[in-house]
Amino acid sequence: MTILITGGAGFLGLHLAHFFIKKGWHVKLFDVAPYPKGEYPSSVECLTGNVRNKKSLAKAMKGVEVVIHAAAALPLQSSQEIMRTNVQGTKNVLETCLNFHIKNVVYISSTAVYGVPEKHPVYEDDPLVGVGPYGQSKIDAEELCRMYQNKGLIVTIIRPKTFVGTHRLGVFEILFDWIKDNKKIPLIGSGKNRYQLLEVSDLVYAIYSCISHQNKKAINTVFNVGASKFKTVREDLQAMFKNVESKSKILPTPAFPIKTALMIFEYLKLSPLYKWVYATADKDSFVSIDKIMKVTGWRPRYSNTESLVKAYRWYEEHYDEIKSRGSGTTHTVGWKQGVLGLFKKFL
């Protein structure tokens, strides 16, 4: 079986590549970004191309039976870049899949499509309200998926919670950096809200449970994916501190003035934290995973705390290598802390 993974140079793409190689599949990766050296099995075919380019997609899709579309422009990028990549790029992928008679397509969406819900847990048929260009782009891309489902393409839409694990940096690298230095960790609000995460290996297996399902009609739909074991933000972080033997402590802050300050810092490009991060940080945020468990039999293995500890341990072990990479805007490198780095000195 041959699988094509768009966004293959990213955090999720790396984990998917290793998983499917172990399953005996031929893996083709497709990404505009450079591939991390030495991170992929030698049998993986690493292709360079942009999902906005139909010709390069068509070339990559020859001989492919399954496609996982994980390529996306992230919230730190411009709104134009986000819409062109996440919407037009997705349309190109779906159209090419239809032309090549691909058996299964999995589209990696986001729970950002729910905005800031008033009730929890959130179900797949709840209203979609995008926060910022990224959230809206995911809603638009999902609508394209439904359009191509109507054309006969089998498209599974996965809405994962924020996922962490080995090789995950980005905003989590900022958190891990502060924990490593035993700094106080400021929370927006009291930290008594419940915020569901997801370990990347659980996400990978959820994707596989859909691809390998015998009833293709049953997986031609949308699924939420998240951890089943999670407590409040305060409790999960305190348990993590204890596990990694950090002296960090929780520092609650008043939500409204902090959010206002972060909004200004974002506008002035002084902080890497974007609206989706700070707008939801003090709110409950968890989805129902009943549907995917019932349809596929998938079950998550890791709790929030276990996921964070696993990711942090990898960060500690690879600290020097991570710092030598510099910074960027993806999940596989650290982000410049900006004004946050200044505040860190006083905590």
pLDDT in tens, 213-261: 999 999 999 999 999 999 999 999 999 999 999 999 999 999 999 999 9
Compute CA distances 212 → 106, 206, 267, whole Å.
Answer: 12, 10, 44
Main-chain dihedrals φ then ψ at residue 26, nearest 5 degrees: -90, 125
Q: Which has the minimum average pLDDT: 120-134, 186-200, 265-279, 319-333? A: 319-333
pLDDT at site 125: 97
Q: Which of 75, 147, 67, 160 is nearest to 109 (CA)?
A: 160
What are the pLDDT digits (tens) for 1-27?
A: 999 999 999 999 999 999 999 999 999
Domain ranges of the chain: 2-163+197-225, 166-195+229-284+305-344
- What whole-number distance in Å separates Cα of residue 165 and Cα of residue 197? 11
- What whole-number distance in Å separates Cα of residue 137 and Cα of residue 328? 21
Answer whether residue 63 shows pLDDT above 90.
Answer: yes
Residue 317's contacts (CB-CB under 8 Å, 6 or more residues apart) are none
Supply the CATH classification number for the domain 2-163+197-225: 3.40.50.720
Average pLDDT, the chain: 95
Amino acid at 296: T
Answer whether residue 330 shows pLDDT above 80.
Answer: no
Q: End-to-end CA distance of the chain: give it in Å, rounded.
A: 52
Please tell me whether the peptide bond between 121 and the residue prior to it is cis, using omega within 30 degrees of 0: yes
- What whole-number distance in Å separates Cα of residue 69 and Cα of residue 5? 6
3-state secondary structure of 150: coil
Residue 35's contacts (CB-CB under 8 Å, 6 or more residues apart) are 8, 9, 29, 46
In this structure, are residues 291 and 92 in contact, taking their beta carbons and an 8 Å threshold?
Answer: no
